[in-house]
Amino acid sequence: MPEHSRRVSAENLLDNFMETFAHNVPKKSSEPVFESTEKSTVSDSFNRLFGREKPVHHLLGGGKSADVLLWRNKRISGSVLAGATFTWLLFEWLNYHMLTLICIGLVLSMTILFLWSNAANILNRSAPSFPRISLPEDIFVTAAIALSNEINRFLSFLQDVASGKDLKTFLVVAGSLFAVAIIGSWCNFLTIFYIGFVAAHTLPVLYEKYGDQIDSCIYDALDKTKQNYRRFDSQVLRRIPTMKGKKSQ
């Protein structure tokens, strides 16, 4: 009986989790295809993954960073992604180091300015000068305050998760950290950062364009996962007490 109760409780726990997850994922619409365009447009735009009711652009902040991530200006977004790719290739494939690149850049800049200054003296023109950086005095204070607020928010989130109030959130966070640790053992931090950077510049725009298809695939995968678990439970888990009972006899 204890084994049977443990098996039933585990099955009920997974069923409750799958039903909660399925309830949050938008289900396939059974309405006719030829409905009013206004109604379908509004429902398709604001009934997306996990039941969210805001567009992707609003979820990403709605500012210039969201415009870059969603490729509102293809030239800027392409330049940012190309620059990140070039930097990753320099450090990862060509095995350059930050100090080496800085020194090489300074030497090239000094050589160009040296040639330019001598040419300016010959041509009776003004000599060039290094550009000066001017920053507001409180920019570092503002950045430090914003960073500290984000760190405190993350620490408070970890504290709430570790308090044991929500077992599902605790398991999700622990599994995510464990997965990141495994991925980190495969490659270095720069590669992980670059993969995340590329994903941030590709996945949101893909979901914005093909959100309905992605939601449908996730819902189908969720149904198949639930069916496979029920099949595994009926074919394997339900037979374990019987096998143990035969051995005891």
Phi-psi region of 51 (alpha: psi -120 to 50; beta: other; left: phi over 0): left
Position 243 scores a pLDDT of 44
Residues 6+ apart with CB under 8 A from 69: 60, 77, 200, 201, 204, 205
H/E/C letters for each residue in 158-210? HHHHHCCCCHHHHHHHHHHHHHHHHHHHHCCHHHHHHHHHHHHHHHHHHHHHC
- 38-82 pLDDT, tens digit each: 344 434 433 455 555 677 777 777 778 888 888 888 899 999 999
Q: Yes or no: say if 11 and 202 are a contact pair by the CB < 8 Å rule.
A: no
Ordered by start, the domain boundaries in the chain are 137-162
What's the pTM? Answer: 0.54
Ranges of residues in the chain with a pLDDT under 70 are 1-53, 237, 240-249
Position 39 scores a pLDDT of 40
Position 123 scores a pLDDT of 80
